């Protein structure tokens, strides 16, 4: 057990060390420190593998939790303990973060080459990895909240890494503020928990809830409010708007933070609080996830920026995971989190490879007007970039849920969960969720193959550009190949080899924790049963819809049997809604942000120009008048001589006073005023005493 | 412990002031160095105080007690507990930093530093006084140098700002004076000794003024006096003006130390001396805290002047202090929450002192170079001055309550303390978390990010002197953000004592 703690400590703090080194001395190091940063993260990868091996070969216990902790802050009976919560989920997450982070570090050596802030970039990656591991390792809500905000910070710094671009710095700001909307909810939820239960630790919170200390509506409210944090971080509807903008950051960052790890932190938190979620809270979560999965998929259809398509696809897939949490399919949700991290990171890095190549080609041609991310400028890249193409294709198949890939297994598990939810409840909501789930699966397959055809197939958009396209360097292709390999089914089913069943190491190690909410004692068992029954049906439907989606994309964009533009013109409203992201940004901007800023400027105006000018200054003037008329009271004489006089003719009187001082009588004046004050109070006291 | 550490701390600046007055006016460097030495030694003494202060002791320490004006039973009575030590240290630190931030003052340098040191004495005096009259003297003494420092060395509208500041505070002082006299006469034998006034905290509750319970009337009078300093809405309008006009170092002192005197006064005087009225008023305090948070943040969002934005952020941040202070009302049902809230309020006072000092220093850096502070008039400064922009990002994130920075912990404690007693108010105040981020990041984006404004392509990077003023504050903010326990342990016993005083006092009244 001790080994776990030490390994975790090293895994947590090495990336922080990398941050500190890069920020303070990075520029002066050989190769600007990229080797050190990558090496440090590489060590965390080795340690994560070691921890995984320990858990897989030695521990083998799917229900082992271990939580070393220490007292950090004590105020009377109020204590905050910080510590680790080590179970199989933690260990798998640590491994996943380490894999993606080290791949992204390696990839960035090629991708970010020559950037003027190269060492700072690696520093920020280190800061992010540290913060992310903090969330993963935390054994309590307070520590989670701390690291929750810190990943927000690193996300802000990396989205706005090229801050000279206004769109990039705007996107960073938007991401942070939108996330804070969710965090306000989360914080209120945490306050409810703490005020009621008096503890932060996951284990203690669950035990207290099990003992009935928090139940009913308040428990549901706490669950939903904490989930609000996940809505922000995991870009769920209606707070999903920041994630597509976050694509302004360097592409490896999009892969690491905005596809694989940080955005999954919301799902991770929802899984952590899974035991305390009441039925109503879960219904809420399922609805949010379902809407997000479907809505984002609809938007992805019409986007032409390669990264925007992937961004909306990420939103949609995160929606799937949240849907899984809401329908109770705990294992499926976490499974999809991990598989998605691999293939989506691969897709983003692949798109980065394409953008990198396009960018260089344009650079060679001295063309700075065209957008290297616009898929309409691409085409036929598969011949020039074979490694990028094949890894991209494998990952696309995984995302589309095609058999033999990891994505097939996890998506299928989620859809089975949704189907079983419908069987269980037989409600309209259940039917809608099923529709959202399979509908999104269909659309996903469609837009992903649209992307592949537009980018890698067909004729080159510009032959001159095509001539300058080259495959990316090894530092970039090795991560691509690694991640594509990790997107195959076998990586998740070992030691079993059945591509149609998720039975394997993953489902052995990861099992849903018991619910602690009253009346849900048999919840997990029922869900397992339901999923088991729905499994084969779900598989058939999901393979069918994926095939249909791919077929449709092939007809439209490969064989060009039909014309996409004609189709779009037939449904102009729907097309425009999708193209303009359902106008959600515009609704927020015109419905909330601008009116609120207007309100703020009105408040600011009232504060200084009305309240201060008329009420406060007016009160001072009338006091002066009263004192003039009354002319009594020692203190008013004093006030009059030195100050109140000035209020009426401010500039004049005080100006002349100040002139007197400037002519060198400061000391005299000071002595005079000081003694006047002291004298005055003594006299006043005497008067009152008499 | 019979040292004269506190007297030394208090009057050392006066020695420095006298020395400066004796130096010929054209020896600028000698004047500055004298001020730096005086405040430097004071800072060392303050560190000695922090080190020598015994943790876990409720009684006052480093006490000095002499008769002063026996006819009125006025004493020279000074001492510190856990509530004053951090503020004494903060004052000494910010005064020292303030001297270096004033290095470029060229107009009447001698007078400036003389007044600066006088101000320093007044501030320390307020935090160590245990005799109400003495407290009052220091309180008033401080007012004068402040008036001149703003009125003479300030910006274009300095006179208006200075007079507004002076009038406002004097109005508060008059009310405070009356309240003080009421406390004095209500006690038999008449005394200004704070500890005795606390011991007999039930006296005023049994009297009436104009048919109202005297303790409540006196509480309100005292509260207004202190609220003006904090400043609590609606007594806050002097602050943005005074800040905008004051020179950088004075803004630092004003926001870093002077504002704390308001909340310190409430906790040192109003709470233990008028416990029944405190509980009666706590709900209103929570609401005022909420208004400060929301109103301050909304005004900050509306500003186009960077310094005014920082000034309004102070109103916003002091709102958290008020919210935490209001948690006292929960001691009956949830003692831990009351203690959490008060500790949070105390911690927030200190943290706001360091964070806002950084903010004002940083605004000063850009103002010294560009000679304006219009948020929309910059753009992309991070390109030319990466270190300056980086430190500003640090300060802004500290200001918006990012974890691992001290402000987060204190804000969190204020929230957690107030929540069990004032749920709705605390939840609404929670919006502050969002609004803080909005106004800081909005300003940061406009000034430091985006395309570089060509006008500032040769902007000079932050220099060593400026770094010297900022780095200590960064270290403190980061240290207490990561490891707040030393601070909490320092104040712990005194917070217990304060809660006890209020608890015992309010029970005495009921009996």
pLDDT (tens digit per residue) in B101-121: 999 888 888 889 999 999 999
- Window 61-100 of B: residues touching A by CB (8 A cutoff) are 69, 72
Distances (CA, A) of A458 to A205, A492, A558: 57, 34, 7
Residues in contact with A312: Cβ distance below 8 Å, sequence separation at least 6, in sequence order: A244, A296, A297, A299, A300, A303
What 3-state class would DSSP assign to A222? helix
pLDDT given for residue A285 in this prediction: 96
Complex prediction ipTM: 0.93
Sign of CA dihedral B411, A128, A324, A61: negative
From A326, A337, A256, A267, select the one nearest A291 (Cα to Cα).
Answer: A326
Detail the DSSP E strand segments found in A198-353.
none
Which helix (H) or strand (E) is B379 found in, with range?
none
Q: How far apart are the first and last CA of chain B?
A: 37
Name the phi and psi angles at A130, rounded to 5.
-55, -50
Task: Please count the other Cβ atoms lying within 10 Å of the Cβ belonging to residue A30.
Answer: 8
Distance of alpha carbon A637 from alpha carbon B355, whole angstroms: 40
CB contact under 8 A, B452 and A608: no
Cβ distance A635 to B404 less than 8 Å, yes or no, reads no
Contacts of B69 in chain A (CB under 8 A): 682
**CA–CA dist A165, B289 (Å, integer):** 39
Query: What's the pLDDT at A628?
Result: 61
Is residue B48 within 8 A of residue B55, CB to CB? The reply is no
Burial classification of residue A422, based on how many CB atoms lie within 10 Å of its CB (0-12 exposed, 13-18 middle, 19 or more buried): buried
Angstroms from B185 CA to nearest CA on chain A: 8
* Cβ-contact B66, B75 below 8 angstroms: yes
Beta strands in B179-258, from DSSP E residues, in sequence order? 208-209, 212-213
Whether the Cβ atoms of residue B55 and residue B490 lie closer than 8 Å to each other: yes
| C-beta atoms of B336 and A75 within 8 A | yes
Find out whether the peptide bond into B231 is cis, omega within 30 degrees of 0.
Answer: yes
Q: Where are the beta strands (DSSP E) in B195-306?
A: 208-209, 212-213
Question: Minimal CA–CA distance to B218: which of B245, B192, B184, B255?
Answer: B184
Q: What share of chain B is helix, strand, coil (3-state, %, to 5)?
A: 75, 5, 20
Taking the CA of residue B77 and the nearest CA in chain A, the distance in Å comes to: 18
Average pLDDT for B204-218: 83
Q: Tell me the three state secondary structure of residue B299.
A: helix
Question: Is A678 near chain B, with CB under 8 Å?
Answer: yes
Angle between helices A428-456 and A306-327 (to 10 degrees): 160
Whole-number pLDDT of residue A641: 46
First to last CA, chain A: 79
Dihedral sign for Cα A345, A347, A351, A357, please. Answer: positive
Contacts of B485 in chain A (CB under 8 A): 72-74
Radius of gyration of chain B (CA): 22
By the CB < 8 Å criterion, does A647 face chain B?
yes
Nearest to A600 among B159, B301, B431 (CB): B301
* CB B340 within 8 Å of CB B488: no
For residue B256 the two structure tokens come to 């870093």
Chain B residues near residue A163 by CB distance under 8 angstroms: 380, 382, 448-450
Name B74's bridge partners. B69
Give the minimum alpha-carbon distance from B370 to chain A in angstroms, rounded to a whole number.
Answer: 20
Please tell me the predicted confidence (pLDDT) of residue A646: 38
Phi, psi of B187, rounded to the nearest 5 degrees = -90, 140
Candidates B236, B234, B472, B270; CA nearest to B353 is B472
Residue A427, Cβ neighbours under 10 Å: how many?
A: 12
The residue ranges of DSSP E strands in A321-449, in sequence order, are none
pLDDT at A30: 84
pLDDT attached to residue B257? 94
Count of other CB atoms within 10 angstroms of residue A61? 11
Closest by alpha carbon to A245, among A185, A290, A305, A295? A305
Q: Look up tokens 């909340």; give the residue.
A: B263
User: What DSSP string describes B281-294?
Assistant: HHHHHHHHHHHHHH
Q: Which of B445, B483, B484 best probes binding to A when mutated, by most A CB atoms within 10 angstroms? A: B445
- Residue in B162, B434, B450 closest to A166 by CB: B450
Q: Which residues 86-145 of A are in CB contact (within 8 Å) with B?
A: 145
pLDDT at A563: 84
B285 HSE (CA, 13 A, CB side): 35
Q: How far is B85 from chain A (nearest CA, A)?
A: 18
Question: pLDDT tens, B220-270?
Answer: 999 999 999 989 988 998 999 899 899 999 999 999 999 999 999 999 999
Residue of A nearest to B118 (CA): A670
Q: Does B151 touch chain A (CB under 8 A)?
A: yes
For residue A467, what pLDDT is reported? 87
Q: Cα angle at A402 between A396 and A408, to 5 degrees?
A: 100
Identify the three-state secondary structure at position B67: strand
3-state secondary structure of B422: coil
Residues ≥6 apart with Cβ < 8 Å to A99? A45, A48, A342, A482, A486
- Tell me the C-alpha distance between B99 and B111, whole Å: 13
* Nearest residue on chain B to A607, alpha-carbon basis: B237
For residue A604, list chain B residues with Cβ-Cβ distance below 8 A.
Answer: 298-299, 301-303
Helix (H, G, I), strand (E, B) or coil at B4: coil
Nearest Cα of chain B lies from the Cα of A664 at a distance, in angstroms, of: 9
The size of chain A, in residues, is 690
Residue B494: phi and psi, rounded to 5, are -70, -30
Q: Is B339 in Cβ contact with A76 (below 8 Å)?
A: yes
β-bridge mates for residue B65, sequence order: B77
Per the CB < 8 A criterion, the answer to whether A289 and A137 are in contact is no
Q: Which residue, A110, A124, A118, A109, is CA-closest to A39?
A: A109
Residue of B nearest to A71 (CA): B485
CA dist A395 → A104, A263, B302 (Å): 16, 19, 47
206-265 in B: which are within 8 Å (CB) of A?
234, 237, 240-241
CB contacts, 8 Å: A75 with chain B: 336, 339-340, 343, 413, 488, 492
Among A339, A342, A335, A288, which residue's Cα sits nearest to residue A315? A288
**Cβ distance of A180 and B380 shorter than 8 Å:** no
Which two structure tokens, joined as six digits, stand for A690?
Answer: 């008499």
Q: What is the spatial distance between Cα B254 and Cα B243, in angstroms, rounded to a whole number?
A: 8
In chain A, positions 55-74, which contact chain B (CB-CB < 8 Å)? 72-74
User: CB under 8 Å to A156, separation ≥6 — which residues?
Assistant: A172, A173, A175, A176, B441
- B292/A181 Cα distance (integer angstroms): 20
Contact B152 A658 (CB under 8 A): yes
Token readout for B180 is 């003080």
Which member of A176, A195, A662 has the closest CB to residue B419?
A195
**What is the DSSP code (8-state) at residue B267?**
I
The verdict on a CB contact (< 8 Å) between B237 and A616 is: yes
Determine phi and psi for A314, rounding to 5 degrees.
-60, -45
Specify the pTM. Answer: 0.92
Whether A603 and B299 lie within 8 Å, measured CB to CB: yes
Residue B72: pLDDT band with limits 50, 70, 90: confident
The pLDDT tens digits for B422-445 are 999 999 999 999 999 999 999 999
CB of A620 within 8 Å of any CB in chain B? Answer: yes
Which chain A residues contact residue B434 at CB under 8 A? 177, 180-181, 183-184
Tell me the residues of chain B between 120 and 149 that have a Cβ less than 8 Å away from chain A.
136-137, 140-141, 144, 148
The region of weakest confidence among A348-357, A553-562, B29-38, B200-209 is: B200-209
B306/B304 Cα distance (integer angstroms): 6
What confidence score (pLDDT) does residue A98 get? Answer: 95
Q: Mean pLDDT in each 10-residue stretch from start to end of chain A (690 residues)?
A: 84 95 88 90 94 82 80 87 91 94 93 90 95 94 95 94 92 94 95 92 92 90 95 93 93 92 94 93 95 95 92 95 93 94 95 92 86 88 91 95 92 92 89 94 94 91 86 92 93 84 85 87 86 89 94 90 85 88 91 92 89 84 67 45 41 44 42 52 51
Q: Is B343 on the interface with A (CB under 8 A)?
A: yes
Q: How far is A433 from chain B (nearest CA, A)?
A: 32
Q: For position A614, what pLDDT does the model report?
A: 85
Nearest-by-Cβ selection for B433 from A150, A169, A187 = A187
Nearest to B108 among A156, A173, A662 (CB): A662
- Residue B78, strand partner residues: B64, B129
Of B21, B159, B164, the CB nearest to A658: B159
Quote the pLDDT of residue A324: 94
- The confidence score (pLDDT) of residue A234 equals 94
DSSP string, A664-684: IIHHHHHHHHHHHHHHHHHHH
Q: Determine which of A78, A123, A619, A688 to mutate to test the interface with B (most B C-beta atoms within 10 Å).
A: A78
B337 touches chain A (CB under 8 A): yes
In the A/B pair of chains, how many CB contacts fall below 8 A?
192
Cβ of A667 within 8 Å of Cβ of B167? The answer is no
Q: What angle do CA B263, B7, B55 make, to 5 degrees?
A: 60
Question: Tokens representing A433?
Answer: 């969720």
DSSP label at residue A511: -
A222: which chain B residues are within 8 Å (Cβ-Cβ)?
none
Q: Considering only alpha carbons, which residue of chain B is nearest residue A612?
A: B237
- pLDDT(B208) > 50: yes
Would you state the torsion angle of the CA atoms of residues A91, A94, A95, A97, taken in this order, to the nearest 10 degrees?
160
Could you give the CA distance from residue B114 to residue B118 in angstroms, rounded to a whole number?
Answer: 6
Residue A341 has what pLDDT? 94
Across the interface, whether the CB atoms of B426 and A73 are under 8 A apart is answered: no
Helix (H) / strand (E) element for A503: namely none
Q: What's the mean pLDDT when you consider all of chain B?
A: 91
Which residues of B are less than 8 Å from A602 in CB distance?
302
C-alpha to C-alpha distances, B480 to A145, A151, A435, B178, B483, nearest whole angstrom: 17, 20, 52, 39, 5
Rounded Cα–Cα distance for residues B250 and B256 (Å): 9
Chain A: give the shortest CA distance to residue B462, in Å.
Answer: 16
Would you state the pLDDT for residue A630?
Answer: 56
Judge: B141–A674 Cβ closer than 8 Å, yes or no. Answer: yes
Are B148 and A187 an interchain contact pair (Cβ–Cβ within 8 Å)? no
Q: What local confidence, expressed as pLDDT, does residue B143 receive? A: 84
Q: What is the spatial distance between Cα B334 and Cα B499, in angstroms, rounded to a whole number?
A: 12
Residue A559, pLDDT score: 87
Specify whether the CB–CB gap between B392 and B362 falls below 8 A.
Answer: yes
pLDDT in tens, B461-496: 999 999 999 999 999 999 999 999 999 999 999 999
Does A638 reach chain B within 8 Å, measured CB to CB? no
pLDDT higher than threshold 90 for residue B159: no
Q: How far apart are CA B370 and CA B367, in angstroms?
A: 5
């Amino acid at each position: 057990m001790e080994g776990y703690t030490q390994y975790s400590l090293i895994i947590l703090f090495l990336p922080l060390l990398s941050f500190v080194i890069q920020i303070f001395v990075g520029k002066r190091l050989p190769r600007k420190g990229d080797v050190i940063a990558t090496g440090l993260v590489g060590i965390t990868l080795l340690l994560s593998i070691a921890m995984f091996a320990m858990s897989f070969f030695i521990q083998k216990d799917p229900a082992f939790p271990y939580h070393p902790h220490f007292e950090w802050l004590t105020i009377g009976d109020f204590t905050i303990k910080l510590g680790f919560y080590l179970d199989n989920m933690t260990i798998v997450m640590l491994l996943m973060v380490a894999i993606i982070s080290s791949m992204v570090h390696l990839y960035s050596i090629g991708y970010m080459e020559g950037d003027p802030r190269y060492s700072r970039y690696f520093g920020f990656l280190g800061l992010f990895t540290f913060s992310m591991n903090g969330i993963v390792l935390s054994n309590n809500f307070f520590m989670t909240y701390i690291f929750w905000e810190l990943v927000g910070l690193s996300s802000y710094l990396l989205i706005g890494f090229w801050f000279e671009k206004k769109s990039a710095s705007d996107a960073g700001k938007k991401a942070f503020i939108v996330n804070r909307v969710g965090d306000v909810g989360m914080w209120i939820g945490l306050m409810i928990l703490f005020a009621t239960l008096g503890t932060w630790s996951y284990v203690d919170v669950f035990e207290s809830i099990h003992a009935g200390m928090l139940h009913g509506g308040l428990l549901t409210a706490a669950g939903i409010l904490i989930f609000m944090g996940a809505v922000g971080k995991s870009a769920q509807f209606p707070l999903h708007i920041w994630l597509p903008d976050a694509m302004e950051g360097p592409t490896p960052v999009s892969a690491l933070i905005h596809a694989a790890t940080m955005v999954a932190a919301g799902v991770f938190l929802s899984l952590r609080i899974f035991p305390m979620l009441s039925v109503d809270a879960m219904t809420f979560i399922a609805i949010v996830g379902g809407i997000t999965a479907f809505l984002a998929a609809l938007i992805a259809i019409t986007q032409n920026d390669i990264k925007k398509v992937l961004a909306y696809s990420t939103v949609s897939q995160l929606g799937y995971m949240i849907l899984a949490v809401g329908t109770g399919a705990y294992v499926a949700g976490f499974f999809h989190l991990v598989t998605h991290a691999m293939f989506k990171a691969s897709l983003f890095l692949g798109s980065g490879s394409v953008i990198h190549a396009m960018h260089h080609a344009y650079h060679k041609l001295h063309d700075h007007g065209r957008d290297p991310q616009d898929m309409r400028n691409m085409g036929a890249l598969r011949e020039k970039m074979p490694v990028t193409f094949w890894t991209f294709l494998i990952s696309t198949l995984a995302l589309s849920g095609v058999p033999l890939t990891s994505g097939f297994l996890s998506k299928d598990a989620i859809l089975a969960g949704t189907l079983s939810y419908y069987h269980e409840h037989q409600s309209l909501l259940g039917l809608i969720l099923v529709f959202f789930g399979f509908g999104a699966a269909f659309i996903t397959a469609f837009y992903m193959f649209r992307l592949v055809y537009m980018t890698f197939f067909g004729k080159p958009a510009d032959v001159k550009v095509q001539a300058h396209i080259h495959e990316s360097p090894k530092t970039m292709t090795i991560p691509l190949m690694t991640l594509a390999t990790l997107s195959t089914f076998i990586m998740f089913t070992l030691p079993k080899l059945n591509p149609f069943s998720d039975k394997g190491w993953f489902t052995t190690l990861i099992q849903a924790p018991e619910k602690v909410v009253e009346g849900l004692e048999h919840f997990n068992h029922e869900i397992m049963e339901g999923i088991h029954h729905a499994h084969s049906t779900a598989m058939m439907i999901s393979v069918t819809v994926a095939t249909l989606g791919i077929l449709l994309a092939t007809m439209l964009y490969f064989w060009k049997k039909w014309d996409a533009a004609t189709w779009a013109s037939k449904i102009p409203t729907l097309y425009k809604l999708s193209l303009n992201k359902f106008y959600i940004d515009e609704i927020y901007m015109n419905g909330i942000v601008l009116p609120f800023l207007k309100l703020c400027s009105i408040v600011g105006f009232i504060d200084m120009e009305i309240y201060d000018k008329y009420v406060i200054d007016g009160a001072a003037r009338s006091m002066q008048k009263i004192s003039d008329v009354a002319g009594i009271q020692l203190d008013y004489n004093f006030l009059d001589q030195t100050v109140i006089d000035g209020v009426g003719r401010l500039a004049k009187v005080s100006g002349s006073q100040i002139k007197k001082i400037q002519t060198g009588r400061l000391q005299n004046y000071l002595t005079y005023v000081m003694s006047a004050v002291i004298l005055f109070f003594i006299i006043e006291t005497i008067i009152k005493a008499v | 412990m019979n040292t004269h550490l506190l007297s030394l701390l208090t009057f050392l600046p006066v020695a420095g002031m006298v020395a400066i007055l004796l130096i010929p006016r054209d020896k600028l460097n000698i004047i500055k160095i004298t001020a730096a030495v005086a405040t430097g030694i004071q800072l060392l003494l303050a560190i000695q105080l922090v080190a020598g202060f015994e943790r876990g002791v409720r009684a006052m320490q480093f006490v000095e007690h002499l008769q002063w004006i026996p006819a009125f039973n006025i004493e020279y009575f000074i001492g510190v507990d856990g509530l004053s030590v951090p503020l004494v240290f903060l004052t000494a630190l910010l005064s020292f930093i303030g001297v270096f931030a004033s290095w470029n003052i060229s107009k009447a340098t001698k007078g400036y530093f003389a007044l600066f040191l006088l101000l320093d004495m007044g501030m320390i005096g307020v935090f160590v006084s245990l005799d109400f009259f003495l407290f009052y003297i220091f309180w008033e003494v401080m007012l004068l140098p402040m008036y001149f420092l703003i009125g003479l060395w300030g910006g274009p509208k300095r006179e208006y700002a200075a007079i507004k500041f002076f009038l406002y505070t004097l109005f508060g002082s008059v009310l405070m004076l009356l309240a003080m006299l009421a406390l004095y006469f209500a006690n038999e034998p008449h005394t200004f000794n704070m500890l005795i006034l606390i011991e007999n905290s039930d006296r005023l509750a049994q009297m009436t003024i104009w048919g109202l319970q005297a303790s409540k009337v006196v509480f309100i009078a005292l509260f207004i006096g202190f609220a003006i300093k904090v400043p609590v809405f609606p007594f806050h309008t002097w602050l943005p003006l005074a800040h905008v006009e004051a020179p950088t170092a004075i803004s630092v002192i004003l926001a870093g130390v002077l504002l704390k005197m308001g909340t310190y006064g409430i906790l040192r005087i109003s709470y233990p001396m008028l416990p029944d009225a405190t509980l009666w008023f706590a709900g209103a305090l929570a609401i005022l805290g909420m208004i400060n948070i929301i109103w301050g943040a909304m005004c900050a969002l509306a500003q186009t002047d960077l310094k005014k934005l920082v000034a309004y952020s102070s109103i916003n941040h002091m709102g958290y202090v008020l919210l935490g202070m209001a948690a006292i009302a929960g001691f009956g049902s949830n003692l831990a929450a009351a203690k959490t809230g008060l500790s949070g309020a105390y911690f927030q006072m200190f943290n706001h002192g360091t964070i806002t000092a950084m903010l004002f220093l940083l605004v000063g850096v850009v103002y010294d170079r560009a000679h304006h502070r219009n948020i929309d008039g910059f753009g992309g400064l991070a390109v030319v001055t990466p270190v300056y922009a980086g430190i500003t990002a640090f300060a802004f994130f500290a200001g918006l309550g990012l974890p691992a920075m001290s402000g987060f912990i204190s804000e969190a404690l204020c929230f957690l303390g107030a929540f069990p007693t004032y749920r709705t108010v605390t939840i609404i105040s929670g919006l502050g978390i969002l609004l803080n981020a909005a106004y800081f990041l909005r300003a940061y984006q406009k000034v430091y990010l985006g395309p570089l404004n060509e006008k500032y392509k040769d902007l000079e990077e932050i220099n060593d002197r400026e770094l010297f003023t900022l780095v200590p504050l960064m270290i403190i903010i980061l240290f207490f953000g990561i490891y707040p326990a030393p601070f909490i342990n320092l104040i712990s016993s005194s917070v217990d004592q304060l809660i006890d005083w209020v608890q015992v006092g309010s029970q005495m009244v009921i009996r």
